[in-house]
Amino acid sequence: MTLRRRGIARLAREGWDGGRSVWESEAEGRVLTVDEIVVREGPAPERIAAVLRLDAGEPVCVRSRRYVLDGKPVLLATSYLPGALVAGSPVTWPDPGPGGIYARLADLGHAPARFREEVRARMPSQEEAGRLGLGSGVPVVLVCRTAYTAQARAVEVNEMVLDSAAYILEYGFEA
């Protein structure tokens, strides 16, 4: 039941620009669904405000999701986007439409042109273990991705918690 997460190729613009979600590339024909989604506006946590260059407490759109593969939860993801940038747009809807939020950011004139990811591992919190259905002793992988426009503006911070047993992280790049 492993998912091969191709860290670089999965974010290529031709995918989301062509109406494909980033997550579709991972499923490889299997059933990958979002069974929980909460979209809300709230104050930017300090760490997020710093990355998005917002004042602490400035509003952000928060998109929290749980992804399930073949009936098993495998990923928790929480995206933070500048509230003023996405207010009233489909980014604030549970289903932002074909291509997901990156296509909608492009519609708003703020297409992601570059991404940065940080990867760490740790033991899950009790809440994370429960939501992912993890047994004791199963670690999680944390991926924090920031999307930047061509003008180097950070437009999204996505904090992901992956079931370590469900993923292979693959990175291919030129020498």
Q: Which of 92, 77, 81 is nearest to 44 (CA)?
A: 81
Q: How far apart are CA 143 and CA 158, in angstroms?
A: 8
Other CB atoms closer than 10 Å to residue 84's CB: what's the count? 11
pLDDT higher than 80, residue 69? yes
Quote the pLDDT of residue 7. 63
Confidence of residue 82 (pLDDT cuts 50, 70, 90): very high
Q: Which of 157, 169, 162, 147 is nearest to 50 (CA)?
A: 157
Rg over CA atoms, the chain? 16
Widest CA span of the chain, in angstroms?
45
Domain ranges for the chain, please list them. Answer: 3-168
Give kind and range of the element (H or E) at residue 34.
strand 32-43
Other CB atoms closer than 10 Å to residue 46's CB: what's the count? 10
Quote the pLDDT of residue 27. 59
Query: Sign of torsion, CA 20 21 27 33?
Result: negative
- Domain at 3-168: CATH code: 3.40.1410.10
Quote the pLDDT of residue 6. 62
